[in-house]
Amino acid sequence: MTGSHDHQRELVARIFDDLGRGHGTSLRQASAPDVSWWLPLGSTEHRGISDVENALVSILGGKEAELQSVVLGADSRSAVVEQLLRGTEGVRTPATSVLTLRDGVVVSGRTYLDVAAWRGVAAEARRA
């Protein structure tokens, strides 16, 4: 159980590290084709790997995204990810994502963040 638990935690951490770098390779490899994700911006419910990947990269990619913690549920069916998104001029905002996993595959997620603060981070990233 511990080995599998550690593997799941590393997988989730890698997904968010990749997203922070502006690509969704790990997300694409570790998600169900019909994955769904709720985001507090734009079209809030995204479905299908391409839609989810594009939405998450647009929100988390290209900003300085520092992974704060990854907490996996005892049964490895859920994970909570905390990040700190930073702009180039010091604007910072936390982002928290909650994932549901089935058989080691991401099937859904929800990301929560302060939309006004995120817009400040995004504006700084565009100016950089």
Domain ranges of the chain: 2-127
* pTM of the predicted protein model: 0.84
Residue-wise pLDDT tens digits, 82-111:
988 876 566 778 889 999 999 889 999 999
120 vs 8, more confident: 8
4 vs 89, more confident: 4
Exposed, middle or buried, 3 (CB in 10 Å: 0-12/13-18/19+)?
A: exposed
Q: What is the mean pLDDT of residues 10-29?
A: 91
Fold of 2-127: Nuclear Transport Factor 2; Chain: A, (3.10.450)
